[in-house]
A and B are shown apart, each in its own frame.
Chain A
Amino acid sequence: MIPVVSDLAPLVCAVLLAVTGAGKLFGRRTAQVAADTVLVRVLGDARRAALALRTIGGVEVALAAALLAAPTAVVPGAATAALGLGFTGYLGYARATAPESSCGCSAKQEGPIGLLSFSRAGLVVLGGAAAATADTSWWSRIADRPAVSTVFLVAATVVVGALTADLDRLWLLPLRRARIRLFGNPLPASAGPAGQVPVAASVELLERSLAWQAASPVVRSALLDSWDDEGWRVLRFAGVYEDMRGAHPVSVLFALDRTATIDTTENPAVRVSLIDDETEELVPADVLAPVPSRTALPLAT
């Protein structure tokens, strides 16, 4: 292999393993993360899964130390490659049996197993293989060829960073933002014809209106139906009113300007009518609750 790559591979692998290993070994959320992994099913219970995850973290940290201290030895590199192969096998198994489970790779991000997880495991295999062939220690290689080493380390950091789910907000979000700045926001600016007020906006206006307060003793359901007619938007609710003869189911109909929203008016005029479901007759409005004529002062929040 290229000498710079193989000689600096121990350093890169060691840093990567130290970070992910320490995350698993000392992370406060390891138990929580372990509970979402496929390890639970393999090992039977969540406590053992957490223990397994912490053990792997310990192995990773030990390997990182070995790679840093004895970069020219073959064993740490080979062990790293073997660990990477193990990760790949584990991910393949988890992906096949429980694709929704979390990989637990870095003990921070919970996320389903995807391309990132496999790329990371593959990187560990390659890095370990390269590290096993190192014949000069990384510190003397950096001292010999500082410029090339720096370029390689920066490139390695970028690759590892790009493959780390925890860090993708550093590069993925700016990339997506730039795309939207270039090509515009892909979401629809307006779904329907201009000026069309969604029904949800009419309901929002209604629920802040005096008419809603007045009808509150009667209305029992949420919105049942709505339609537009001659400039009005009619909203139908189900309700019950009580009189001497007992309780009667009614349709509560609110009609309001179909172009009005809370942006255009604070006090919409709303037509309220109650229609008895059994007799289909209009119920007199005196079952509506009287509403105080003073409007409430807005509250500072």
Chain B
Amino acid sequence: MRQNHENTGRPLDRRRFLTTAALGGATIVGASALGGLDADAAFAEPMPSLDPAITKSAFAEGRITRIKGSVLEVAGSYGDQHLIQLTNVTSIWKLRPTTADAVKVGDGLYARGVDMPDGTIAADAVWVNIVNLYVTIRGIAKDRLHFTHGSHETVGHVVPDTTTASYLGGALTPDLSRVRIGQAAQILGAWRPADDAIDIARVTVGH
């Protein structure tokens, strides 16, 4: 994260600059601001894939066995090895967007990037310890949810200012009070290797 380190001294200046640039000359994409409005446009090229850069991407997953500078050594689940190069523009998610400092040996990860000639993967995006579980809510406490995933009991911690919920396909909200015991839910979160619990990023119920 070279650039981030450079910026840590004055991240607000950097943001201020980017905001000014962004709001000054931005293209406003609204209902019809971009793209052809003539009938021919409807028959133009098919829609691009919604996942950016999907076609050029390399994927890797596994547990981090070693961190050497900005290179992560990853042991894949099927006995494969990967070297993941973090760059100054790699997005790193560990419960929330974070920096390379938060990545620890023993963490699991999914990485998407580009294969480099030297065999490493230059990561565009890294998701650390991300888990996506379909569970049944079994208990609700002030700072955590208890749920079963299959026959496994797991604890999901509610993280202030981070955990959000979505009800019946609605927008994500910090309001968690509508979660009910016995409900089926989808939990997106970050696994904690230390105690095998989960920090919850998102609870989706009634989907």
Contact = CB atoms under 8 A, between A and B. Distances in A.
Contacts of B25: 273, 282
Interface in A179-218: 180, 185-192, 196-198, 200-201, 204-205, 207, 209-218
A270 B29 CA distance: 5
Contact of B179 (A172, A187, A282): A187
A6 to B, nearest CB: 36
Interface stretch (A76-84, A133-141, A151-159, A220-228): A220-228
Given A187-B140, A200-B164, A263 B89 contact: no
A24 interface: no
Contacts of A271: 22-23, 26-29
A229 B139 CA distance: 39
A31 to B, nearest CB: 15
B8 interface: no
B186 to A, nearest CB: 14
A280 B20 CA distance: 12
A219 B52 contact: yes
B138 to A, nearest CB: 7
Interface stretch (B60-68, B71-79, B101-109, B165-173): B165-173
B31 A186 contact: no
Nearest to B178: A185
A196 B143 CA distance: 20
Interface string B128-157: 000000000011111001000001110000
Nearest to A286: B27
B173 A201 contact: yes
B193 interface: no
A291 B46 CA distance: 10
A213 B47 contact: yes
B50 A290 contact: no
B112 to A, nearest CB: 9
A176 B139 contact: yes
Contacts, number: 224
Contact of A189 (B42, B125, B153, B177): B177
Interface string A282-301: 10010011111111000000
Contacts of B171: 197, 201, 204-205, 261-264
B35 A214 contact: yes
Contacts of A229: 15-16, 19, 23
A285 B33 CA distance: 12
A236 interface: yes
A66 B184 CA distance: 44
Interface string A247-284: 00101010100000111100111111101010010100
Interface of B: 3, 15-19, 21-37, 41-42, 44, 47-53, 89-91, 93, 97, 124-125, 127, 138-142, 145, 151-153, 158, 160-161, 163-164, 170-179, 181-182, 196, 201-202
16 contacts: A185-B179, A186-B141, A188-B176, A189-B176, A191-B161, A200-B164, A200-B202, A207-B50, A209-B29, A221-B90, A221-B125, A224-B97, A277-B3, A282-B21, A290-B44, A292-B41
Interface of A: 100, 108-111, 169, 172-173, 176-177, 180, 185-192, 196-198, 200-201, 204-205, 207, 209-227, 229-230, 232, 234, 236-239, 249, 251, 253, 255, 261-264, 267-273, 275, 277, 280, 282, 285, 288-295
